[in-house]
Structure 1
């Protein structure tokens, strides 16, 4: 999956258009869920380009996947708007859960899940083989923590509990989204309400 190549070059206008086309093609291909789509070489062929053209734009597969992750991060930068200062804790938790429940079913999210499934699970191996991709994923995690801390700004909640909740929510929401995609018999509206209630109680509670 990883290919070694020369460093990526700064594109001119024509090169920027080619770069944009490659990134969009990558997201479409990855969103299909096909494990074989996690191939920069295959994506290049899908749009009639060569592996050399990908190398010219991104340097190597690591640079390509890092750019794909960065593109989706840019698109989702404004999904989470600052919380209304008058919003209750429950409203703020529910807003995060609802936004993720909808967003994780979007094509970009499916594309990233497929890409992540093909990358090494071990952090040391990921950082060794795909250092730029690993750095982008780490940046995502830090941005998410900042989003959650901002979401509860102005409320009397323990920052450490906010960190714990922020770490929990993405995995919990992926589980609910997976249930929806699989056609669960469970009432997922009830599940979301239950998760909201549990998180609110934890953030409000004392030891």
Structure 2
């Protein structure tokens, strides 16, 4: 009995340590400072040796994959997944607003800085960081499925939903970048216009 309780305590303590390390890694990545995407810098900011980090995550690829999984667990799901009665326009607006505000979080800043430091070529990324590449690939698929589910009960062409799902993340990053750079554009008008354009496209009759 004592061993089991001790084991549970050890597991809880180990998980807490792991989560604390991931949170510290995210803060370092989000800073965007020179060297922030460095295994040794991450280990230093975490307050651990690289050997301790390797014990938890295996290698730098395992660390990056764990960081991405950690953010995925925290960001939640798209709104209106089930038993939704909201009209199309309301659903699109809510998704746009959720992404806009979500892309300004520490987690999103960290992910953007990590992406910028990783190889752009998919083959090279998969060769050098297979776990990290697999995690990014899974995000694409889960995002597409979430978008299909968000509109599944409406009379909307699934092919158009796939197209919208493909361009929304990049377009939203552009709107967030404009806001962060101090654009003279009205942010609210920009998001409203973007949402209205998506709604108009999804509502347009499909040609025979």
Could you state the TM-score of these two structures normalised by the residue count of structure 1?
A: 0.90
**1:79 & 1:145 partners in 2: Cα distance?**
11
Q: Which residue of 2 aligns with 1:8?
A: none
- Taking a change above 3 Å as real, the CA distance of residues 139 and 83 of structure 1, as seen in their structure-2 partners, is same
- Please give the residue correspondences for 1:99-138 in structure 2 after superposition, counting only pairs within 5 Å: 99-138=98-137
Identify the range of structure 1 (17-26 vs 100-109) with the bigger mean alpha-carbon deviation.
17-26
Q: How much is the aligned-residue C-alpha RMSD, in angstroms?
A: 1.6
- Taking a change above 3 Å as real, the CA distance of residues 27 and 156 of structure 1, as seen in their structure-2 partners, is same
Q: Which protein shows a greater Rg?
A: 2
Q: CA deviation at 1:33?
A: 1.8
Q: CA deviation at 1:19?
A: 1.7
What number of residue pairs does the alignment pair up?
A: 197
- Taking a change above 3 Å as real, the CA distance of residues 79 and 86 of structure 1, as seen in their structure-2 partners, is closer
Q: CA deviation at 1:50?
A: 0.9
Q: Which residue of 2 aligns with 1:6?
A: none
Q: Structure 1 residue runs of 4+, over 3 Å off?
A: 11-15, 78-81
Gap runs ≥5 in structure 1: 1-10
Gap runs ≥5 in structure 2: 1-9
Q: CA deviation at 1:85?
A: 2.6
2:25–2:45 Cα contact (<8 Å) kept: no
Q: Which residue of 2 aligns with 1:66?
A: 65
Q: Which residue of 1 aligns with 2:152?
A: 153
Q: Which residue of 2 aligns with 1:38?
A: 37
- Taking a change above 3 Å as real, the CA distance of residues 84 and 91 of structure 1, as seen in their structure-2 partners, is farther
Q: CA deviation at 1:48?
A: 2.5
Q: CA offsets per residue over residues 133-161 of structure 1, 9 Å max, x none?
A: 00100111111111111111211111110
Q: Which residue of 1 aligns with 2:4?
A: none
- Taking a change above 3 Å as real, the CA distance of residues 72 and 80 of structure 1, as seen in their structure-2 partners, is farther
